[in-house]
Amino acid sequence: MLYRVLADIVVLVHLLWILFLIIGAYWGRKNGVVMLVQSAGFVFAVTSQIFGWYCPLTHVEVWLREKQGTAGVYPGSFIAHYAEQLVYADVSPTIIFALTIALIIVNVWIYTMTFRKTKTPI
């Protein structure tokens, strides 16, 4: 039971991380640390996609499911089941890579516009 709950928590954290990468520029415009964390997340996302790596959170979740003895089946809660469908969507890696690059371009544009607005003439 404990491993199942922990695996469900990992899936929800994974979903929150993905959402942070998608909408994090909203907070990153006002907070440099958030901008750096989000940018590092994008660097890792692109690197892992290029080299075919899995996210460490995926490895943790699989390990917890194996410890529970339920790897590959629907062992989690209702919410985690649907969160898993969002996190592990059945989409082509090429499409995911293209969407990641598009999201990076949007974030660079947001940060560039923010820096231009805050830059005051001397």
> Does the pLDDT at position 122 exceed 60?
no
Q: Which of 1-5, 54-58, 90-94, 109-113 has the lowest mean pLDDT?
A: 90-94
What is the spatial distance between Cα 31 and Cα 39, in angstroms, rounded to a whole number?
12
What is the spatial distance between Cα 89 and Cα 35, in angstroms, rounded to a whole number?
26
Other CB atoms within a 10 A radius of the CB of residue 74 amount to 10
What is the spatial distance between Cα 79 and Cα 97, in angstroms, rounded to a whole number?
26
**C-beta contacts of 19-22 below 8 A and 24+ residues apart:** 21/45, 21/103, 22/103
Q: What is the pLDDT of residue 34?
A: 93
What is the spatial distance between Cα 20 and Cα 14, in angstroms, rounded to a whole number?
10
